[in-house]
Amino acid sequence: MFPNGGVTAPTRETTPAPGNLVNRDFTAERPNEKWLTDITEIKARDGKVYLSPMIDCHDGKIVAYTACFHPNAELANRMLAEAAETLPDNARPVVHSDRGCHYRWPGWLELMERYGLTRSMSAKGCSPDNAAAEGFFGRMKTESVYPEHWEKRTRDEVLVLIDEYIHWYNHERIKQSLGWMSPVQYRQSQGMAA
């Protein structure tokens, strides 16, 4: 009980949360310095599809992503492993997420340790702390999901549309902040591996 007589509700957090190392600074001087992740749901005619991307703060490139019909630990864990496998030997990014259970389960923690990655988490219930990941979802839904009426497609069709969108986003969608180049074009122009 608090001195004023109030009682706290249980936190229901599965493991202790790390600090917020990103602190709303979604910029990075080089690739693989800071990564962001989150999960979004996309409605389909016959259910929902869940998307889990890993976003590089350097240029917004989607480093890896998974999509499936259930928002389970496998969705996030598989994406993390795929993203980590793209890293050069000397790269160990900070991986920032919200406080969702996906990023606190033992499988996620084991993968983070195995790849030598550093965890960072948003404050509880504070979506601006992961605004850049939320921004990617907003752009995707505004540019493709809503105008193309993905909700009228089957879940299997939505999986294909996600693949197509992310390929377009990485390879063709230009960004003013990258000198009117896509993330892949920008990396190539800088002599970096795309």
Q: What is the CATH number of the domain that holds 144?
A: 3.30.420.10
Number of folded domains that form the chain: 1
The pLDDT tens digits for 147-164 are 999 999 999 999 999 999
Q: Which amino acid is at 119?
A: R
9 falls within a domain: no
Q: What's the whole-number average pLDDT of the chain?
A: 90
User: Does any domain span residue 23?
Assistant: no
The answer to the question of residue 19 being in a domain is no
* 7 inside domain: no
Q: Is residue 28 part of a domain?
A: no
Which domain, by its residues, includes 79? 34-189
Q: Is residue 88 part of a domain?
A: yes
In the chain, % of residues over pLDDT 90: 76
Span 29-55, pLDDT tens digits? 999 999 999 999 999 999 999 999 999
Is 3 contained in some domain? no
For residue 130, is it within any domain?
yes
